[in-house]
Amino acid sequence: MEYQVTSNALAGRVILVTGAGAGIGRQAALSYAEKGATVILLGRTVKKLEAVYDEIDAMGAPQPAIIPLDMLGATRQHYMDMADTIEQQFGRLDGVLHNAGLLGVLSPFDQIDEKSHDDVMQVNVKATMLMTQALLPLLKKSDDARIVFTTSTVGHQGRAYWGSYAISKFATEGMMQVLADEMSDTKVRVNAINPGGTRTSMRASAFPGEDPQTLKTPLDIMPLYIYLMAPEGINEHGQCIDAQPKR
Ligand code: NDP
């Protein structure tokens, strides 16, 4: 991968990672900490977040923090309170990786279940928007802030049976583009990553017959995740970037 950064590229930076307890988010939290960032671990399963906390602690990286939050039920007020807590505890925020996501139920379009659709849209789109709104004032105070959304190949080319998940990822790409345009004259850089097929439990749910050993691991795709948070990635803005070559 061509995304090169220095070994301590994220030193002094405070970065929030959503869905930090498992899969790609877990690895991003570890990789950001390894590059010197103070990482705020947000997720719905405290045990998983604590395990990541312990791994970061054992690395000797800056002490992380945990925010237990279920994005399915969280309201605007939760995100406002969260922004206040981050400001009080760290005095700053330099990056947000919007990684948490729900796959929902894959089904023919005419069988999309309304409840499942609402849940997927709530976590993948609305909660992500509300969180971004609440954190923007803090991010704008940073000299060099980054917001990274997570999309999917089905977020720019629809595919049969991917229903609500694909619809939510199209919305995510739209949100990224709208926000990037609005942030053009600020110090906030906004982009989206398409991880591509990656060895996680979400991928296994979507492709149960696939051999996971044929897939890139979360660690394999980290160069782009680090680059978009590092000084080296400052010129990327409004882009949707693939973390690995198309399969
Ligand atoms: P995983 O299912 O392995 O991890 C998803 C993470 O999101 C988990 O930590 C999960 O928490 C968290 N999460 C889910 N719902 C909520 C919620 N309501 N509140 C808070 N946290 C929540 O998925 P991946 O690591 O594979 O996916 C990460 C991102 O990458 C997603 O946005 C996904 O759409 C995207 N992506 C993944 C691809 C792949 O091949 N893996 C391909 C394309 C895109 P918990 O562990 O507690 O359930």
Annotated domain spans of the chain: 14-241
Up-side HSE of residue 77: CA atoms within 13 Å toward CB? 1
Structure tokens at 231: 């000084």
Average pLDDT over residues 74-90: 98
Contacts of 68 (CB under 8 A, 6+ apart): 42, 43, 44, 46, 49
Tens-digit pLDDT profile for residues 111-157: 999 999 999 999 999 999 999 999 999 999 999 999 999 999 999 99
Question: Ligand 1, closest atom to CA 201?
Answer: 3
Q: Please tell me the predicted confidence (pLDDT) of residue 183.
A: 98
pLDDT of 1 over the 60 cut: no
CA 86 to ligand 1 centroid distance, Å: 23
Question: Ligand 1, closest atom to CA 151?
Answer: 44
Tens-digit pLDDT profile for residues 193-216: 999 999 999 999 999 999 999 999
Q: Please tell me the predicted confidence (pLDDT) of residue 225.
A: 98
Count each helix (H run) and each strand (E run) in the chain, helices first. Answer: 8, 7
Which of 53, 79, 165, 225 is labelled catalytic?
Answer: 165
- CATH class of the domain at 14-241: alpha beta
Which ipTM did the prediction report? 0.99
Which residues have C-beta atoms less than 6 Å from ligand 1? Answer: 19, 21-25, 43-45, 48, 70-72, 99-102, 123, 150, 152, 195, 197-198, 200-203
Give me the percent of the chain exceeding a pLDDT of 70: 100
What is the rounded distance in angstroms from the CA atom of residue 35 to the CA atom of residue 7?
A: 6
Question: Ligand 1, closest atom to CA 22?
Answer: 9
Structure tokens at 33: 């900490």
Alpha carbon separation from 48 to 44, 180, 210 (Å, rounded)? 9, 32, 25
165 as an active site residue: the answer is yes
pLDDT of 247 over the 80 cut: no
Q: Contact at 8 Å (CB) between 116 and 167?
A: no
